[in-house]
Amino acid sequence: MVQNNAGATTTYSYAIHLVPAGEPIDAPAIATLRGAQRSRTDYGANLEWTDARTVVVSYWKADSIHPDNTQLRHTHLAGMNLRVVLEPAPPDHHALPGPMTPHR
């Protein structure tokens, strides 16, 4: 997930990409969340692999989602068929306030 900030008068957007570990991002995002929040004080979304082929992207609320639905998405990566699920979730009260912090 890549956090984008277009400036002081716009909200954060989050582009969801699936790429093999260590590889550069060279394909369009499979989904984009604009103004996504994990809680009242935290921007972003949570990513969780629920099994070897399914990743769930959960968020408390979002201004917009592209594509504009939360239906199951399928993508291929390294010869595998993967599922991506976007779903609203209760507020994440463990998330730190502000924009998402980088994870390495």
Tell me: pLDDT of 104 over 50: no
Average pLDDT over residues 80-104: 80
53: number of CA atoms within 13 Å, CB side? 11
Give the tens place of pLDDT for each residue, 13-71.
999 988 888 889 988 888 899 999 999 988 899 999 999 999 999 999 999 988 765 55
**Domain edges within the chain:** 2-88
Q: pLDDT-based confidence at 77, cuts 50/70/90?
A: confident
